[in-house]
Structures are given as C-alpha cells and as structure tokens.
Amino acid sequence: MPEKSMRHAINDALSEELARDDSAYLIGEDIGKAGGSFAVTRGLHDEFGGDRVIDTPISEAAIVGSSAGAGLTGSRPIAEIMYADFMGLAADQVMNQAGLFKYMFGGDVTVPLTIRTVNGGPGSNAAAQHSKSLHGLFMHMPGVRVVLANTAYDAKGLLKSAIRSDDPVVFFEHMELYNREGEVPEKSYTLPLGEAAVEREGADVTVVATQKMLHYALDVASSVADDISVEVINPRTLKPLDVETLVESAKKTGRVVVADESVIQNGPASYIARRIEEEAFYHLEAPVEVVGVDDTPIPFSPPLTEAVVPDASDIETAIRGMPRL
Amino acid sequence: MPEKSMRHAINDALSEELARDDSAYLIGEDIGKAGGSFAVTRGLHDEFGGDRVIDTPISEAAIVGSSAGAGLTGSRPIAEIMYADFMGLAADQVMNQAGLFKYMFGGDVTVPLTIRTVNGGPGSNAAAQHSKSLHGLFMHMPGVRVVLANTAYDAKGLLKSAIRSDDPVVFFEHMELYNREGEVPEKSYTLPLGEAAVEREGADVTVVATQKMLHYALDVASSVADDISVEVINPRTLKPLDVETLVESAKKTGRVVVADESVIQNGPASYIARRIEEEAFYHLEAPVEVVGVDDTPIPFSPPLTEAVVPDASDIETAIRGMPRL
Amino acid sequence: MPDEVAAHAEQLADQLQEMILIREFETRVSSLFEDNELPGFVHLCLGQEAVATGACWAIDDDDYITSTHRGHGHSIAKGLEPDRMMAELFGKETGYCGGKSGSMHIADVDQGMLGANGIVGAGPSLAAGAGLSIEQSDEDRVCLSFFGEGSMAEGVVHESMNLAGVQDLPVVFVCENNQYGEMTPAEDQHNVDGFEARGEVYDMPAETVDGMSVQDVYEATAEAVERARDGGGPSLLICETYRYHGHYEGDPTTYRTDEEVEQWRERDPIDTLEASLVEGGHIDEDEIEEMRAAARDRIDEAVQFARDSDYPDEEAAFEGVYTEEI
Amino acid sequence: MPDEVAAHAEQLADQLQEMILIREFETRVSSLFEDNELPGFVHLCLGQEAVATGACWAIDDDDYITSTHRGHGHSIAKGLEPDRMMAELFGKETGYCGGKSGSMHIADVDQGMLGANGIVGAGPSLAAGAGLSIEQSDEDRVCLSFFGEGSMAEGVVHESMNLAGVQDLPVVFVCENNQYGEMTPAEDQHNVDGFEARGEVYDMPAETVDGMSVQDVYEATAEAVERARDGGGPSLLICETYRYHGHYEGDPTTYRTDEEVEQWRERDPIDTLEASLVEGGHIDEDEIEEMRAAARDRIDEAVQFARDSDYPDEEAAFEGVYTEEI
Ligand SMILES: Cc1ncc(C[n+]2csc(CCOP(=O)(O)OP(=O)(O)O)c2C)c(N)n1
Ligand SMILES: Cc1ncc(C[n+]2csc(CCOP(=O)(O)OP(=O)(O)O)c2C)c(N)n1
Ligand SMILES: [Mg+2]
Ligand SMILES: [Mg+2]
C-alpha cells in the first residue's frame, strides 16, 4: 500500500466526497483560495470552485450555525474550524443547535453536518490558546458524534463516514500528525463509526491511546516487547465509543493505561478509564492508569511544554507501574 | 437557625459582598431594574444603583469577556448568565480568556471573576435548550474553579467564597432549588472551596450527589434507613474536588453511587466515579454506580422528561442494586 | 390609503382572517396557561400579528423561515396547523415534534419552518445556512429570518448578517422591534436609532417598517424577497411593533405603563385593518364576526385535538437522538 | 503639512525613534525566526508601526491597551522593554510572562498592557471590561483596543462595541485595517466601505484615519481619548495600513502582488516621516542614523539578554494556574 501523509489522506477524502455528493460543500476560514491554514484543503477550490469551497469571514459561530441550518435544508456541509481551541466560539451552535434539532424536532429531520477541527500541537509551541485537545467537551453533548483522526488510514476512512453520517459529527484532526505518513489504500473505502481498532495485540497490558499518544504507545509497545506484551487499542471514535473492544482487551490483560493529550480533569481519558472500570471491574489487577495533561494550560517555552504534555516516557512509566507484571 | 430559600440566601450573599467590597459589581441581562429573570437579584439595583448592578444587552460573550477584562484591571465582577445552557455563547471567554490569563501572563495577575449561572430545571419543562446541567464542561478547563449551589446554606457560604476567590469561578445554581428552603445562619459566614460535606453518615453505601439529586439522596437515605445505612456526601465544589472525603467514605462503605443531573457521557458523575475507583479501587465491592441523563437531550413533555431525568427512585434502585448488602 | 386598501382588499381580508386566527390562538394559549393546562412557559405575540402575517404572505410554501421563542404567529403564518401546534404545547405525541419541543422549538422542516428557537439570536445563522443551501442547489427559494430587536446584540446575529452580506445570500432578516427584550427597554440595549445603519455595515438594503400594518410589512417583504430571488442578496427590515402581554405569561410587566400599552393598542393591526376594510366597504361587520367565529372554532378544535391526544410513550424519550443506534 | 510638521517636530522625532525601534525589533525577530532561534510562530507588524506609536502616544502610562496576535508594536509603544519581550519570544524565564506566553500572549498588566491575544476578536471585550473597571473606580483612565479588520467579523467584537456604546465606556477601538485577514482580502470578509457605519450602529464617533501617518493616528486618537476621559464614551478609528511581511513568518504571500506591496511601501510611515522632518530641517540624516544605531543597539542587547537568560525550571510549568494550590 502506498504511504500518504494524514494531510493528503484528508484532502483525498474531502475531494472524493465532494465529487460523490453534490449537496456537500466545504466552508471555513482561508480554506478556499489559500488552501487552508495547514494546506489540508489545497487544490479543492480549484477543483470544485468557490461555490463549493467557501471562504468565510472570521466568524466561527456563523460557520457552524449556518452549517446547522444548511444541514436542515438539504445540504451536507463540511465546516472547518481552524483550531479546536476556537470551538468555544461555536459551542452553542454545536450543543444547542446542530446537536439538538433531530431530537427537539421530533426525530424526523437530519443534520448531516461535519465539523473538521484540529487538536492542538503543543509541540509546535503555539501556547495555551492554540494547543488544546478538546474532543472531551463534545462527548458531553447529546446528538453529537465525536471522531478522532489517529492515523492517515483512519483519517480518510473515518472522515468519509463522518461526512456521510446523517448526524452532526465533530471530527478532530491533530496538528502534529498532518505530516505523518501511513499506509492508505488506493481504492476508496470507509471505516465504520463506533469500532475501535486493535493496532497491536498483547497479553500483559492494554494501552488505549489517541492521536499522538497512539503513535507513542506503539513505539513503546515495540521497545518494551522483550519484557512486556502490550496490546494497543485505537478507539477511533469517542461517541459512539466501542466499549466492547476496550473491555474485552481489559478483561484479557487485566491492566489498562489510557493515554490522551487532553486535560485529565473530566476529560476523555478519565471517561474511558471509568467505562473500563465499570465493565471490567472484577478483571482488573489495578485501577486504570491515565496519561494526559494535569489541569494545566499549555505553556509556550519548550521545556515547560515538555513538562506538561505527555510523551512516550509517560506511557512507558504507566505501563511499568502496573502491578504484578 | 432561620430557614431561607436558596434564592434569598444567594441574594443575601450578593448584597453582603457588594457592601463589603467596592470593587465588586454585578453584570448581566435583566438583573438590575427587573431584579433578575428568577428574582435572585431583586432589590440590589435599588440598594447599590445602576453602576454596580449593570443591565446589559443580550450578549453573553461580552458579559463574560468584559468581566475577564475588568477582573484584570482591579474589579471583582460577578456576572450572571441566565441559564447554563447559554454558557456555550461565552465558552471561549471562560476557556481561553479568564481561565488562562493568570498562567499565560506568568502567574502574577489575578482574574477575580465569578460567573453565576443556573443549571436547568428539566422539571420546569423548558425543554432541551433551557434544562441542561453543564458544570462538567467547565471542570475540563484549567484555571477555572467550578462550584455548585446544593443547599441554601451552601449557596450563601460558597458564593461568598467564590466572589472572594482571586480565580475565575463558575458558580452553578439550580432552577428547581431556588424556592427550596434550608437553614441559613443569621451571621455572615463563608464555606471553603474544595471541601465536601458529609450530609448524613452511614455505613453501607455512599451516595455522592449534587443539586436536586442531593435532596433526593437524603430522602432515599431516610426512607431506606431501616434496611440500609446510607452515607450521603455533598461534594460542594467540583474543581477543586475533595477527593479525600469521597475516598474515605468509599473505603468505609465499599459501595458508591454518584448522582448528578448532567449527561453521563464524559460528565461529572462519571469523573467522580473514576476518581473514586482510582483511589479506592481495592476497597470497592463493585464498580461505582452512576445516575444521570443517558446521552439524551431534555424533552419537553412531562412523561418524557420524567423518563430522561433521574429522580429518587433511580437513586434507590442504584443503592439497592449494590452487591452483598 | 383608501386606494391602497381597495387595490388589495381581497388579500387584506385573507390576511385579516389569518391575524385573527393567530390572535385567537395566542389568547387561548394565555388562558390555557393560566389554567395550568400547559407545561413549561410560553411567550405570546399578541400585538405582533401583522409582522408574521405580512412577511409570510410574501413567500411561498417551499420557502423557509426561522423563528424565535415568540414563534406561534410565525408558525401559523407559515402554514402550520393549529391543532398539531396546540398538541405540541400540551406535550402530546400528535404535536409537530411529538411532544419533545414545546412552545420554544416548534418546527416543521417539511413545511419550511426551521424552528422556533430558545436561544436568542440563533435563527439568523440558520437562515444564512438555508441561504447557502439554496445557492448550492441553484433554487430560487428564499429564507425569512424573524428575530427580536433584543437579539440584535448577540454576536452570532452580526456574524450571520455579515456572512449573508458577503455571500449575497437570499435571506430577508425581519427584525421585530417590540421595544423590549425581556423586561429591559430596547434603548438600554442598543442605539435603536442605529438599527438601519446595519444595512450599510452589511451591504444590504435596510428599511424601517410599520409593523402594525400588515400591508406595509407585506410590501416591504415582497420587495426584499423579489430582490433575493433575483440574486440581489439579503435585506434587513426593522418592523416597529409591540407585544401586548408580558415577556412570558405571568410577567407582571412593571417595566412599562398602561398608557404605553394603550397607545400601541390604538394602532392595533387587526382593529385598524378591520376599520379600513369596513370603511372602504370591502367587508362588513358580519363577515368579520364570521372570521372570528371561524377562528374560535378552529382553535376550539385544536384544543380538543390536543386534549384528546395521548402523551408520547416513555420509550420515545430515548429515540431520535441519532439517526442510527449509538 | 510642513506647518504641521514644524508644530510637532520634537514629538514627531520621538515618535520616529519609537517606530524605528519597533521596526528594528520586528526585523530582528524575522531573522531570528528564520534562523530557528525562536519556538512557535510569529506575526509581525512591519509597515503598521505608525498605528501602534501614534495611538499609544495619545495615552498615559496608567491607561490600558488590549492587543492582538500581531502585538509587538503595541507592546513597545505601551512602554514594554524589548529585552523582556525578546526573552519571552525565546521562551526564557526573564520574559514578561516567564516563558509561558510567547509572542501571542505577551502581557504586562502593571504597565497597562492587557495582553496580546491569540483569539481573534478577544481584545475588544477585555477593553470593555477595563472600561467598566475605570467607571467603577471613577478614574479618568481610558483603554485603547487594537484589533485587525478581520476581527470585525467576530460576534464578540460587535457585542463589545455595542456594550461600550450603551454604557458610554471610556474605550477607543482602534481597528488596524491592514487589508487582509490571514490570506483572505478584507473585501471578501466584509463590506469594507461599511466599517465607518458601525459608529452609527453603536452610537460612537467613527473615523477613517491614514494609518501610515503617525501624526494622523496620534491626532485622531488624542481626540477620541479626550472625549472618553470627559465622559463622552467610546470611539472607533479605522486606520488604513498594511503589513509588509506575510500573515505569519514563512507565509509565501501568494495572495497579493509585489506591486501592491510596493505601492504601500512608498507610503512607508518611517520613510515619509523621515523625509518630511529632514525636508523641514528639523532633523538631519546623521540624527536619523543615530536613531537607527540606537535602535540596533537596543535590540542587540535585547537579543543578548534573551540568549543569555535561562529557560524556566520545569516546576514552573505547573505553577500559576490558580492563586492557591488546588
Ligand atoms: C442566548 C440567550 N440569552 C438570553 C435568553 C433569555 N431571553 C429569552 S427571550 C429574551 C429577550 C429577547 O428579546 P427580543 O430579541 O427583543 O425578543 P422578544 O422577546 O422581544 O420577542 C431573553 C433575554 C435566551 N433565551 N437566549
Ligand atoms: C477566533 C479565531 N479565529 C481564527 C483565528 C486564526 N487567525 C489568526 S490571525 C487571523 C487573521 C486576523 O485578521 P485581522 O484581524 O485582520 O488581523 P491581522 O492578522 O491582519 O493583523 C486568523 C483568522 C484565530 N486566531 N482566532
Ligand atoms: Mg423585543
Ligand atoms: Mg488584517
């Protein structure tokens, strides 16, 4: 299989879906002529024209709010919010508009809206307002699906499914994974929303990891393989969450680490830990260990960033800290 | 001790703090001449004048954003956001502004801002956009303290502490508790942020419960007292969360139920459950049981609301479902 | 003016009939609410009927509207049936939304009614989205967006009008200036004399309209709608009107004087239209009485329908959150 | 014009000196960034120096400003020291924020600088808050709020100007129209001819100002500041200017032509001011060369200071989130 960057894989997904469905369009800031702030939509404006790849004013609420309205009226909007950090400006439009219409209006309508956004790259030292991982906020909103781009392969297959989904989906890319290459089939494909992937099988410890942490986890799993057999699971979608796959693995290994770049406090890693503890309680050797950001904004200075943001060594420490290994 | 409604207790706290500190002021929609949409600020405009009890346009982002700026420049703003449901419109101002300044600016500044808002009254049948409990979202934001008004006594003592805190605090009242009376000392008092209250001692099961659920839990604890000895804990503040008190109780009883009116998915009840499972793992008879709203918007029709929103019977069922009682 | 009336007498009579229906609906809701027959709370548009009727008269069945928390009039004017509306207010399964929405979120997307909305200022962004959909599919539909003057302060309303302006979207923004946002006068919330200047900000024609005159609202909207269909982009209409009841049913309205209410009532959109139709000999008192009787009957039926309908099954509470089981 | 220059020659020379310092700072940051000495990314205000200097010249030490992601010029104009600014850009503990903020959030609240801000449009709401603080304590301070024309589209900017308008807050809104928001021309994002009409919307005087003339910016701001101090409420200034470099360092700027840049450079705020000061005989080439040399020295020192400073200790990463341990 050819290797592609995640950026390229996402671009392909967008291009294929725009070609496939006339009711789909892209909307966002600088996504058109400029090709996107991170070059993810490059070429699409030329290919599909300004009517289907729409540059907007700097207006996150209107981007998402208008997309909710367009979704109600027969379109399939694909909105881009440049950084997940800016989703706060469109929180109402997700939480009280797009996410609620189907239910409030009696169940018959659909809001086939996808919001693509980017979890921060704390490693790019863009500091506290451009570095957050914020999928946790949206997992708490009924009616909204939450999907992560963790590998190039996932990104393409899941984004296509997100776009085709008749529910609003917030799709989180990751700044530091755009350049990362991975195998992506030439042929068109989709991946189901709600199925986790066992990326590596193992017997001793389960590591559930997202985005950058997934790649660290895989590295660690290889490097400790002589001592410890680590199973690595990529949850892929957080809402719906494939609890079954996670629990099955937890029951097998009895030891679980969850690694996610968000804040731990009421964050996704804590929630995943909770679901595993709930369902696999009597099979666990110890409580689930969580790796994430501990109630701290992301600082600018590289040594500070490194201190705050988890990395491979934190995952390894968590694995090695598991009892009776 | 005299009994007072929570509305009255909050009004007293606001009045006392405005009198005590010239740099404090109230700001919000219809809080002044009209006395607030729920009559919580009644009389304060007359007492302190329009300069200290400021009616604004319908502009949640500017209410919170301006309060963040005022907090930086020597004021102690007390903002009201009419329903927690509307906090989405001011999410950026909490998450990226007020909550981050102290840290981003190097630690020396303070943002002594309190945002009072109201968790929904699903029981008032105001439906999906006016009924949510949303403290969970703010627990995920570093730099922000999250406090709940669970009883009239708490409301007064905690609100005064929130106002005096030099950190931004989001203070969640509850629509269906405003009329509820409770004992409130005549004398001025404050309650520390970060200390839970054991509202009732018990030996068999711990119920950690917030807001309306706390009162249900106390009722249930009384009514099952012949069979089961229930300890009821009021966490009071969610950030900081008094994990110690919760864990101590969990270790004692070995059985824990957490009841909170928010959505369960990545919500506060799940997080509290997780923290208890993490710290009291080897003392628990079973995983913590969570009572809350299961991934569903709040519907309008009374029988639907009742189906979705937890009540005393759900807490009782959870208690009785605990093993080896 | 008499000429105006003569020229449009037939349409005006139909508009009168509709306004009477809206008023009857609202009046009945008021007493049902007082009698504790309705859960939740309600915001009524008594006094504002001419805006809903006049504006919606200028659009077609397959056009769209977005509405507000004060949306019953808009719904009726867009062609929604009082019986299913009333059933929704009762929380019954036969309601437009199966009892899930109540007064504040009534919607019928098939009928182009994109929802009342409990979030002040939300409608205009949805309207911009409907405008984008229309452009995408190259239709010549339009979307009317109703919103109160209070919502003019919300950021998303500004963003949406700006987006509509730069994208030339087929949206008519219909601001209902009923002089208050909740209990606070409009003057305390905005420079009310600056409402029209927003037209220049967003590069769209803006006009202040007598919101107590169904004909004036109709004409201004029709012109804006025609421009929008012709690719001329959005418009802003500021309709000066008044709500006779409080912000919500039960509001003691201490923030305004009886004289003020009386002054506005003298310009009542129904009474004045009746008077000029009668004066011009286009309609007689009996016909008006028939209209009232017809409206009463229709609302009687609606109330009966609502009372007779069942509450939804409990299971429905957990359905319709997602398209597929999740 | 020569008279104007003569009347203000001394002040203009000081302003020139400051603009040269800003330019030197930005030019050096550009090359440090290219040399990979700076973490993160930076947005430079080369070309816009007259707005920062002219506006801040009109306020006092104890007045406030809010700034943007393109904030180095504002900081220097507000009196922040290049050495601690540079140290912040390097992520060093001697930086204004101990290395926690970087370019996008430099602040010195004691000095009245309420922060650069990475969220487009955030500044004006903070400025309204500073205005409220000033009113609360009955001071006669003012707050200048700098923001790019792109942020005019953000809802919170609208909300904040409206709030300032109805509350008569002592805020001067200084819009820097540098013609682009990121890579998209202002014309695609707003009706640029409608910027001034916002004054009417928010009931505040609004004026378009030549942002390449430090004197024009100074005068317009001084007038607005005086009005604000006298209780006359807020004002809006739209300063027409241009950024010579890309949106961020490294931006290939394919969205504009070299001619366009050249045309603006011909109106360079530093060159034109130098020329008229020399022409009027108020300053000679040597003095200008001295100014440049002084600026170079100051920035050399700043870079040295930054390079010599230590990175913060790791523990600092977890400090300063809350006032008390939590
Ligand atoms: C975002 C938001 N803020 C506040 C409210 C509370 N609220 C409901 S109606 C209303 C007043 C709206 O005024 P206006 O837009 O003039 O409409 P009117 O009620 O006069 O029809 C307010 C503040 C709300 N529902 N949503
Ligand atoms: C809320 C938000 N949306 C988008 C961005 C990304 N962004 C950074 S600068 C910028 C352009 C701002 O344009 P303008 O206000 O004109 O300022 P300029 O860069 O021209 O000085 C954008 C869109 C952001 N930082 N914050
Ligand atoms: Mg109104
Ligand atoms: Mg710009």
3-class secondary-structure state, position A94: helix
Task: Verify whether ligand 1 is closer than 6 Å to residue C181 (CB atom).
Answer: yes
Task: Verify whether ligand 1 is closer than 6 Å to residue C149 (CB atom).
Answer: yes
Angle formed by the axes of helices D49-57 and D214-229, to 10°?
A: 40
A8, A45, A130, A174: the catalytic one is: A130
Q: In whole angstroms, give the CA distance from residue D182 to residue C323.
A: 38
Closest ligand to the CA of C240: 3
Ligand 2, pocket-test mutation among D44, D69, D178, D190, most atoms within 8 A of CB: D69
| Span C212-234, average pLDDT | 98
One-letter identity of residue D113: M
Q: Which residue of A has its CA nearest to B126?
A: A104
Q: Where are the domains of chain C?
A: 2-311
Query: What's the gap in Å between the CA of A138 and the closest CA on chain D?
Result: 20
Boundary residue ending a domain (B160, B183, B206)? B183
Q: In whole angstroms, give the CA distance from residue C326 to residue C323.
A: 9
**Residue D326 in this model has a pLDDT that exceeds 70:** no
- Measure B37 CA to ligand 1 centroid, in angstroms: 11
Q: What is the pLDDT of residues B126-168, one digit of tens each?
A: 999 999 999 999 999 999 999 999 999 999 999 999 999 999 9
Q: Is C129 in contact with A52 (Cβ distance < 8 A)?
A: no
Which band of pLDDT confidence, cut at 50, 70 and 90, is reported for residue C147? Answer: very high
- Near ion ligand 3, which residues have CB within 5 Å? C 148-150, 178, 181
**Residue D325 in this model has a pLDDT that exceeds 90:** no
Contact A6, D227 (CB under 8 A): no
Question: Could you tell me if A147 and A220 lie in one domain?
Answer: no
Ligand 1, pocket-test mutation among B82, B124, B130, B131, most atoms within 8 A of CB: B82
Contact partners for chain D, using 3 or more CB pairs closer than 8 A, are: A, B, C
**Residue B207 in this model has a pLDDT that exceeds 90:** yes
Residue among C53, C57, C36 nearest C295 (CA)? C53
Task: Verify whether ligand 2 is closer than 6 Å to residue D180 (CB atom).
Answer: yes
Q: What is the pLDDT of residues D218-273, one digit of tens each?
A: 999 999 999 999 999 999 999 999 999 999 999 999 999 999 999 999 999 999 99
Please report residues of B whose CB lies closer than 8 A to that of D119: 92, 96-97
- Measure C70 CA to ligand 3 centroid, in angstroms: 10
Residue B238: what pLDDT?
Answer: 98
Which band of pLDDT confidence, cut at 50, 70 and 90, is reported for residue C325? Answer: low
pLDDT-above-90 percentage for chain D: 97
Q: Which residues of B are catalytic?
A: 130
Contact D205, D227 (CB under 8 A): yes
Contact D179, D185 (CB under 8 A): yes
Residue among B269, B294, D154 nearest A88 (CA)? D154
Query: What's the gap in Å between the CA of C67 and the closest CA on chain D?
Result: 20
A85, A130, A304: residue with CB nearest D317: A304
Q: In whole angstroms, give the CA distance from residue B144 to residue C316.
A: 37
Residue D124: what pLDDT?
Answer: 98
Chain-centroid distance, C-alpha C167: 25
Domains contained in chain B, number: 2
Question: Could you tell me if B25 and B174 lie in one domain?
Answer: yes
Closest ligand to the CA of B89: 1
Residue D37: what pLDDT?
Answer: 97
Boundary residue ending a domain (B183, B215, B232)? B183
A7 CB contacts (<8 Å, ≥6 apart)?
A: A38, A39, A40, A178, A179
Contact B234, B197 (CB under 8 A): yes
Phi, psi at residue D49, to the nearest 5°?
Answer: -60, -30
Q: Is A271 in contact with B268 (Cβ distance < 8 A)?
A: no
The H-or-E segment that residue A99 falls in is: helix A99-104
CATH number at residue B135: 3.40.50.970
Burial class (CB in 10 A: 0-12, 13-18, 19+), D222: middle
- Measure D224 CA to ligand 2 centroid, in angstroms: 26
Task: Verify whether ligand 2 is closer than 6 Å to residue A82 (CB atom).
Answer: yes
Asked whether residue B205 is assigned to any structural domain, the reply reads: yes
A92, A104, A143: residue with CB nearest C105: A104
One-letter identity of residue C138: D
Q: How many CB atoms lie within 10 A of CB B307?
A: 17
One-letter identity of residue C170: P
Q: Is D40 in contact with A125 (Cβ distance < 8 A)?
A: yes
Residue C3: what pLDDT?
Answer: 80
Q: What is the CATH number of domain D2-311?
A: 3.40.50.970
Task: Verify whether ligand 1 is closer than 6 Å to residue B82 (CB atom).
Answer: yes
Vertex B253 angle, CA B251 and B259, to 5° = 100
Residue B56: what pLDDT?
Answer: 98
Residue among B147, B133, B296 nearest B213 (CA)? B133
Please report residues of A whose CB lies closer than 8 A to that of D156: 89
Asked whether residue B95 is assigned to any structural domain, the reply reads: yes
| Span D177-199, average pLDDT | 97
Boundary residue ending a domain (A156, A183, A210)? A183
Q: Which residue of A has its CA nearest to C317?
A: A103
Residues lower than pLDDT 50 in chain A: none
- Measure D125 CA to ligand 2 centroid, in angstroms: 16
What does each C-alpha distance from D306 to A301, B108, D81, D85, D99 come to in angstroms? 13, 21, 12, 9, 11
Q: Is C133 in contact with A74 (Cβ distance < 8 A)?
A: yes
B53 CB contacts (<8 Å, ≥6 apart)?
A: B18, B25, B26, B31, B32, B41, B44, B45
Q: What is the pLDDT of residues A137-153, one digit of tens each?
A: 999 999 999 999 999 99
Which residue bears the tokens 């609906």?
A: C25
Contact C20, C295 (CB under 8 A): yes
Asked whether residue B325 is assigned to any structural domain, the reply reads: no
Torsion of CA D149, D152, D156, D162, to 10 degrees: 120
Asked whether residue A191 is assigned to any structural domain, the reply reads: no
Question: Could you tell me if A101 and A225 lie in one domain?
Answer: no
Please report residues of C whose CB lies closer than 8 A to that of B33: 183-184, 255
Q: How many CB atoms lie within 10 A of CB D3?
A: 8
Question: Could you tell me if A220 and A277 lie in one domain?
Answer: yes
Residue B325: what pLDDT?
Answer: 87
Contact C88, C95 (CB under 8 A): yes
Contact partners for chain B, using 3 or more CB pairs closer than 8 A, are: A, C, D
Q: In terms of DSSP H, where are the helices of chain C? A: 2-7, 9-34, 49-57, 72-77, 82-90, 123-136, 155-167, 198-201, 214-229, 258-265, 269-279, 285-308
Burial class (CB in 10 A: 0-12, 13-18, 19+), B209: buried
Q: In whole angstroms, give the CA distance from residue A155 to residue D322.
A: 37
Q: What is the pTM of this model?
A: 0.98
As a 3-state breakdown, chain B gives helix, strand, coil percent values, each rounded to 5, of 40, 20, 40
Q: Which residue of B has its CA nearest to D161?
A: B62
Vertex D313 angle, CA D312 and D316, to 5° = 85
**Residue C326 in this model has a pLDDT that exceeds 80:** no
CATH number at residue B240: 3.40.50.920
Residue A304: what pLDDT?
Answer: 98
- Measure A27 CA to ligand 2 centroid, in angstroms: 16
Bridge partners of residue B205, in order along the sequence: B230
Please report residues of B whose CB lies closer than 8 A to that of C153: 57-59
**Residue D112 in this model has a pLDDT that exceeds 90:** yes
Domain that holds residue A291: 197-320
Task: Verify whether ligand 1 is closer than 6 Å to residue C118 (CB atom).
Answer: yes
Question: Could you tell me if A316 and A257 lie in one domain?
Answer: yes
Mean pLDDT of the residues in chain A: 97
Atom of ligand 1 nearest to the CA of B30: 23
Residue among B255, B155, B169 nearest B214 (CA)? B155
**Residue D2 in this model has a pLDDT that exceeds 80:** no
- Measure C182 CA to ligand 1 centroid, in angstroms: 6
Residue D1: what pLDDT?
Answer: 60
| Span C176-180, average pLDDT | 98
Which residue bears the tokens 């506005």?
A: C264
3-state secondary structure chain D: CHHHHHHCHHHHHHHHHHHHHHHHHHHHHHHHHHCCCCCCCCCCCCCCHHHHHHHHHCCCCCCEEECCCCCHHHHHHCCCCHHHHHHHHHCCCCCCCCCCCCHHHCCEHHHCECCCCCCCCCHHHHHHHHHHHHHHCCCCCCEEEEEEHHHHHCHHHHHHHHHHHHHCCCEEEEEEECCEECCEEHHHCCCHHHCCCHHHHCCCCEEEEECCCHHHHHHHHHHHHHHHHCCCCCEEEEEECCCCCCCCCCCCCCCCCHHHHHHHHCCCHHHHHHHHHHHCCCCCHHHHHHHHHHHHHHHHHHHHHHHHCCCCCHHHHHCCCCCCCC
**From atom 3 of ligand 1, which residue's Cα is the shortest distance away?**
C120
Atom of ligand 1 nearest to the CA of C186: 16
Q: In whole angstroms, give the CA distance from residue B267 to residue A139.
A: 9
ipTM score assigned to the predicted complex: 0.98
Question: Could you tell me if B225 and B100 lie in one domain?
Answer: no
Counting every residue written for chain A, the total comes to 325
Task: Verify whether ligand 2 is closer than 6 Å to residue D251 (CB atom).
Answer: no
Q: Is A72 in contact with C109 (Cβ distance < 8 A)?
A: yes
Question: Could you tell me if B237 and B287 lie in one domain?
Answer: yes
